[in-house]
Amino acid sequence: MKTGLLMFNEQIGFTFLLYFVWCAWMNTFLNIKHPLIATLLLFASILSITLWIIHLVTDANLREKELLVSQVAMTQGKNLEKELHTALIASTQILAVEVIQNNGNMENFEEYAQEVLSLSKVITNVQLAPNGIIQSIYPLAGNEKAIGHNLLKDDARKKEALSAVESGKLTLAGPFTLKQGGVGMVARRPVFLKLQDKSEFWGFVSALILLENLIASSDLQELQKDNLRFQLSRIHPDTNQVDVFYGESISQDWISSQVTIDVPNNQWTLIVGLPQSQQLFGSALVQLAIALIVSGFASFCFFYYVTLPKKLQHAVEQKTFQLKKLANTDMLTGLDNRRKFTDVLNQILQKPDALAHCHALLYLDIDNFKQINDQLGHYVGDQVLKVVAQRLCHHVSDAQSITRISGDEFAVILEYQEIDSLKARLSALIVALSQPSEHIPNSHRLTVSIGVVLIPQDGQDLTLLMQHVDFAMYQAKSQGRNQYCFFDRLMKLRDDEKIQLIESLKIAIEQNQFVLHYQPIYDIRSHQIHCYEALIRWQHPAKGLLFPASFIELAEQSGLINEIGDCVLAQACQFIAQAAPEKPIVSINISASQLSDPQLFERFIGIIQQYGVDAHSLKFELTETTLMQNIQACTNILLKFKQLGIQIAIDDFGTGYSSLAVLKDVPANYLKIDKSFIDQINSNTGDQKVAQSIITLAHHLDMQVIAEGVEQIEQEELLAQFQCDFGQGYLFGRPAPLDSIRANTKSINSQAV
């Protein structure tokens, strides 16, 4: 059917091509004064052509179906004939040869028969009938009654049996109805043995073939999927009449084809038919209706084409305008989009007199917009964006561009005369945008942060201006939000330096540029070294030795403090392991950022185990301020460390706001009195009272006390009177690198207190 449809498509396509070419020619070169008459003439022409094409395609479709049926019949006939002949040869001929070779003695009949049956799926059983009397059947089950049956004396079978003996050739009896049910055929091959130079009839080798098995082995049943039907028939040898023994009745008005199948002593006829469904285009009336519809549609198109060209042109122009507008407009707010913003800004920068005019680029970001979206929903978020867009249009209506860049970010390009007037407009805009909105509940406040760059002072190309205004906007956010911030080159330079420092910190971690200096902590009573505090230093390849004040705060802001803290612990553990058997106690500082890391405990345990260090040789220090930031979380993780044997110290005590209620629950072993209380302890009675109170308080809480910043003997003596346990400061030793400390490790008091 593909050929017929292809022909139809080609004819229709060619016709419509000619039609549209003709329409174009008529409309272009002729001044049609009477389009209706031209349309009627076209209608008549197309109607005639369409009827002619339908006739051609219908005829081609019929011939195609006839060819298909003929090919199917020929293929199926050959397949069926081949299958039948293969089965007969595989069964009767092989057994006949075995009978002759064994001189009629078939003691191994079942073995031969089993092998024969395995060669063909259509053979049901095989038989041996010496002198025409059935003596052996395989398989025997169900066929026992046939044993002893004399084929030469059976009125129903002797005619075909005698014919086989007389001809000496294979004969096929049937198809006929079997006693055990079903329709089958019996192939009989006469066997002759040579005795004294002459052939004598020995008997028959027979095979029973079920017709259903034969049909099943072919593809005939699959024809129904293609709406094809088949019929098998023969000329009955007794009646000489057509005997239809399988299949369906094939009507004479069907498309059909028949082939002859040669079988032993007869011929079968296979007829394949295809029911004549409706013609491809139905009856003559339907064909006429199709032709009228096609002709009418084509004529209508022609009439429309020649009478409405101006309307079509107008529609195209209008659509083009709409598409251009859509391409430059934000669909949610109706403002310019990023594409239009880029065009406007580039036009300003490329004007010959651009430097003669002062322009400001405002970059706005809604503060905490993500919280509004997450807590109030995206619908409210969209309404907020619309409100901001409306307020911008109202308060900066003279702007050369008001743009929604993306998400909650907007941009405004303004021309200004004086910087003071620009600042006044910005302040008014901040106030206007932060007014309450019906879409936002009182729990949320609508504010914006605005970055401002001046053109051309802050840049003369789009990329640089966007970088600068984005930086200015984030500076406005970092300074508290709900304000504007002009781009500051010095501030940008400091920010760039900060970025470079972060990159240098990453390199320092990779290249192990961090080192530890150790400051001893002495037992005030025994004057022996109790432990060391590990103080980090950065051995910068260009700047030399840097102290923590120059990089620790930035390390915490950038999140690198965790990796640096791991390096500190690893070096401290390495020092403890290498100082064996003295086993010094080393104290390291822990920051709030580290304590907030959920993986801190597992990582620290891994490092301690890696160096095989006893946890009792470690002390963790955290400031009172760090402790108070999240008392519950700090207490939980410190308790886990303490359970391992690690000692805990609260550093800079007295500078924070901890209370006794909090302090009593902290799993600390030590309190370190801040240096500010020790500096004037000799002369300031207030500092003396504070220090003595802290020492007494700590002892009542089963904590020991370390005084920081001890630089004078008088300070040490006074602390000893107050029963202070340990002292740390220049009086006992300055922080020193590892090589200087190793010589003193023999004096370390390694017992944990």
pLDDT tens-digit readout, 436-470 = 888 777 777 889 999 999 988 888 888 888 988 89
pLDDT the model gives residue 354: 57
Lowest model confidence (mean pLDDT) among 222-236, 280-294, 704-718: 280-294
* H-helix segments, 226-353: 284-307, 309-327, 338-350
**Does 288 or 127 have the greater pLDDT score?**
127
Lowest model confidence (mean pLDDT) among 49-53, 142-146, 517-521, 725-729: 49-53
For 552-573, what is the mean pLDDT?
A: 90
Q: What whole-number distance in Å separates Cα of residue 110 and Cα of residue 118?
A: 12
**Does 20 or 583 have the greater pLDDT score?**
583
pLDDT the model gives residue 220: 79
Confidence of residue 675 (pLDDT cuts 50, 70, 90): very high
CB-based burial of residue 384 (10 Å sphere; 0-12 exposed, 13-18 middle, 19+ buried)?
Answer: buried
Q: State the DSSP code for 249.
A: P
**Does 517 or 462 have the greater pLDDT score?**
517
Confidence of residue 22 (pLDDT cuts 50, 70, 90): low
State residue 528 phi and psi, 5-degree precision. Answer: -110, 150
- H or E element that contains 433: helix 419-433
**Would you state the structure tokens that stand for residue 161, as one six-digit string?**
């049996």
- H or E element that contains 100: helix 94-101
pLDDT the model gives residue 95: 83
**Closest residue by Cα to residue 589 from 635, 554, 627, 558:** 627
pLDDT the model gives residue 130: 92
pLDDT the model gives residue 353: 66
For helices 378-395 and 369-376, the axis angle rounded to 10 degrees is: 140
Looking at the predicted structure, is the pLDDT value of residue 212 above 70? yes
**Does 156 or 652 have the greater pLDDT score?**
652
Lowest model confidence (mean pLDDT) among 101-105, 411-415, 608-612, 688-692: 101-105
Give 187's strand partners. 172, 207
Q: What is the Cβ-side half-sphere exposure of residue 235, based on CA atoms within 13 angstroms? A: 8
pLDDT tens, position by position, 90-111:
778 888 888 888 888 888 888 8
CB-based burial of residue 184 (10 Å sphere; 0-12 exposed, 13-18 middle, 19+ buried)?
Answer: buried
- H or E element that contains 105: none
Looking only at the bridges linking them, the beta strands covering 736-737 and 514-523 are antiparallel
For 639-660, what is the mean pLDDT?
A: 83
For 331-336, what is the mean pLDDT?
A: 91
pLDDT tens, position by position, 115-136:
888 887 888 888 898 988 888 8
The percentage of the chain sitting over the pLDDT mark of 70, rounded to a whole number, equals 87
Q: What is the Cβ-side half-sphere exposure of residue 279, based on CA atoms within 13 angstroms? A: 16
The percentage of the chain sitting over the pLDDT mark of 90, rounded to a whole number, equals 31
Looking at the predicted structure, is the pLDDT value of residue 544 above 60? yes
Looking at the predicted structure, is the pLDDT value of residue 575 above 50? yes
CB neighbour burial string for 305-336, b if at least 16 within 10 angstroms, e if fewer = bbeeeeeeeeeeeeeeeeeeeeebbbeebebb
**Would you state the structure tokens that stand for residue 716, as one six-digit string?**
């040490």
* H-helix segments, 351-416: 369-376, 378-395
Looking only at the bridges linking them, the beta strands covering 123-130 and 136-138 are antiparallel
Domain 505-747 -> CATH class: alpha beta
Looking at the predicted structure, is the pLDDT value of residue 748 above 70? no
Confidence of residue 7 (pLDDT cuts 50, 70, 90): very low
**Could you tell me the pTM of the whole model?**
0.46
Looking at the predicted structure, is the pLDDT value of residue 723 above 90? yes
State the chain's mean pLDDT as an integer. 83
The domain locations on the chain are: 2-69+285-312, 323-487, 505-747
Give 77-81 contacts, CB < 8 A, sequence gap 24+.
77/259, 77/260, 77/261, 77/270, 78/259, 79/218, 79/219, 80/214, 80/218, 80/220, 80/261, 80/270, 81/261, 81/262, 81/263
Confidence of residue 323 (pLDDT cuts 50, 70, 90): confident
pLDDT the model gives residue 747: 44
- Give whichever of 34-48, 94-108, 507-521, 547-561 has the largest mean pLDDT: 507-521
* Pair 206, 186: CB distance under 8 Å: yes
* Pair 191, 202: CB distance under 8 Å: yes
**Would you state the structure tokens that stand for residue 530, as one six-digit string?**
């109790």
Q: What whole-number distance in Å separates Cα of residue 735 and Cα of residue 737?
A: 7
Single-letter code of the amino acid located at 740: S
pLDDT the model gives residue 506: 92
Looking at the predicted structure, is the pLDDT value of residue 30 above 70? no
pLDDT the model gives residue 18: 54
Confidence of residue 573 (pLDDT cuts 50, 70, 90): very high
What distances in angstroms separate CA 342 from CA 5, 232, 337, 731, one per listed residue?
54, 81, 9, 66
**Residue count (the chain):** 753
pLDDT the model gives residue 658: 60
Q: What whole-number distance in Å separates Cα of residue 691 and Cα of residue 653?
A: 10
Q: What whole-number distance in Å separates Cα of residue 237 and Cα of residue 616?
A: 113
pLDDT the model gives residue 156: 74
Q: What whole-number distance in Å separates Cα of residue 143 and Cα of residue 127?
A: 10
Looking at the predicted structure, is the pLDDT value of residue 3 above 50? no
Looking only at the bridges linking them, the beta strands covering 183-195 and 198-210 are antiparallel
- Superfamily of domain 323-487 in CATH is Reverse transcriptase/Diguanylate cyclase domain (3.30.70.270)
* H-helix segments, 584-664: 592-595, 600-611, 624-629, 631-643, 660-663
Task: Count Cβ atoms below 10 Å from residue 634 Cβ, excluding itself.
Answer: 21
Task: Say whether 420 sits in a helix, a strand or coil.
Answer: helix
Q: What is the DSSP string of 547-591?
A: -GGGTHHHHHHHTTHHHHHHHHHHHHHHHHHHTTTS---EEEE--
**Would you state the structure tokens that stand for residue 601, as one six-digit string?**
């405990």
Q: State the DSSP code for 481.
A: S
Tokens 């915490």 sit at which residue?
A: 556
Biggest CA–CA distance in the chain, Å, is 152
Confidence of residue 390 (pLDDT cuts 50, 70, 90): very high
What distances in angstroms separate CA 624 from CA 317, 547, 629, 698, one per listed residue?
74, 22, 9, 14
